[in-house]
Amino acid sequence: MIGLVYLVVFGLLGLSLVYLLVSVYSRSVRREKLEKRFDAGDGEGDRDAYIEAGMKAYQHGLRRRLIWLVYIIPIVVVGVTIYLVNY
Amino acid sequence: MWRKVKWGLRIAVLLMVAAFLHYTLPQRDIVLVTGTYNRLTTVGANWLFYATPDVGTAESTTTRDIRFIEAVRPNDKVSVYRNEDTGWIWPPYFKYDSSNLQAEAGNLKSTKAAPQWVAVTHYGWRLPFLSIYPNAVKVKAVAGPDVTLIPWVSIIVLLALAFGLFMLRRMWLQLRERMLDPALDDVNNALDAADARADAARAQARGVWRRLIDWLGTWRSTPRR
């Protein structure tokens, strides 16, 4: 049973690392996209303000919440594996 | 020479990854189950290919009672599977129902005269030289020796691994483009500026120093013949 504890603790640590990496990557991609969109003449006014507004929208958007799938998918996969193998 | 070494290393790594995946991913054999039994088994140098001692069915690191399943393939060659719990860490099958599996396998026993074909899901290799056995994970009755089984699990796992590698590469490239390259540019510019200053200072210092040496030289006596 100690194995289950190890699995939960180290599994969650590993998934948290993945979550961190993916969220940093996703922010970076979004910022780059906003910069390019502004430079293409899409926005008006101040460049920094335009980008900050876009990042704020991202912060409350669906795409950022989808990163929670990093936790959800592996946990579901483990659950399904346990069910299929043992029952 | 170095190219060959590099390619040799790459191929070696690729082979190791392939062997690792081939060992770990599930495979299905269609067999007749002919026997199920327990045998006291001593695990020695081949411990890597047996369950770790902290799972339910492995009571000791050296000698343990292991369940085995004997089977015959359609080509009359035999297969022997061990039936051990995997525990919770590796390989990630999370199997803890070995006793049930052994009972199911016993229930599906049959002979060539009245065959009951069984799909045995397992991972691992049978290497008689090392006394290692594939670990059976699941048994299921099937209609005949020719049914087609699609290896969905392997397909999904390999696709997921490929996707993970692809994303890691994208993330690395993004990091380099947005963070490392601008930082390196800054460092390089700073170094260039520092270099230029140092060169100028050195040139000036050399001028002063050279003049001093020349002046001292005027005091030196000319060498005698």
Confidence of residue A39 (pLDDT cuts 50, 70, 90): confident
Nearest CB to A3 within list B88, B93, B137: B88
End-to-end CA distance of chain A: 19
- The CA-atom distances, in angstroms, between B20 and each of A79, B80, B120 are 24, 21, 20
CA dihedral sign of residues A31, A37, A42, A48: positive
* Tally of domains within chain A: 1
> Mean pLDDT over residues B207-223, rounded?
74
Going from the C-alpha of B113 to that of each of A74, B45, B74, B110, B117, the distances in angstroms are 45, 40, 13, 8, 12
List the single range of A28-37, A44-53, B50-59, B176-185 with lowest mean pLDDT: B50-59
The pLDDT of residue B209: 75
Calpha distance B97→B47 (Å, rounded): 21
Q: Which residues of B touch A7 (CB under 8 A)?
A: 88-89
Cβ within 8 Å, pair B88-A86: no
For residue B73, pLDDT beyond 90 = yes
Q: What is the pTM of this model?
A: 0.78
CA atoms of B223 and A45, how far apart (whole Å): 80
CATH of B26-149, picked from 3.40.1350, 2.40.50, 2.60.40, 2.30.30, is 2.40.50
pLDDT, position B197: 84
Which residues in A lie closer than 8 A to residue B54 (C-beta atoms)?
2-3
Q: Do A2 and B138 touch (CB under 8 A)?
A: no
More confident residue, A30 or B224: A30
pLDDT tens for each residue of B19-44:
999 999 999 999 999 999 999 888 88
Give the residue extent of every domain in chain B.
26-149, 150-214
> Does B57 score more than 70 pLDDT?
no
Percentage of chain B with pLDDT > 70?
94
Q: B91, exposed or middle or buried, with CB in 10 Å at 0-12, 13-18, 19+? A: middle
* Cis, bond preceding B91 (omega within 30 deg of 0): yes
Rounded Cα distance, B176 and A28, in Å: 11
Residue A81 with chain B: CB contacts under 8 Å: 92-94
Mutate to test the interface with B, among A19, A25, A33, A75 (most CBs of B within 10 A): A25
Contact B96 A7 (CB under 8 A): no
pLDDT tens for residues A41-78?
877 788 888 888 889 999 898 988 999 999 999 999 99
Q: Given CB atoms, is A21 within the 8 Å cutoff of chain B?
A: yes
Tokens matching residue B35:
């026997």
Q: Is the pLDDT of residue A33 over 80?
A: yes
Q: Which amino acid is at A63?
A: R
ipTM score: 0.85
**Cβ-contact B79, B29 below 8 angstroms:** yes
Q: Any idea of the CA torsion for B12, B16, B22, B24, to the nearest 10 degrees? A: -170
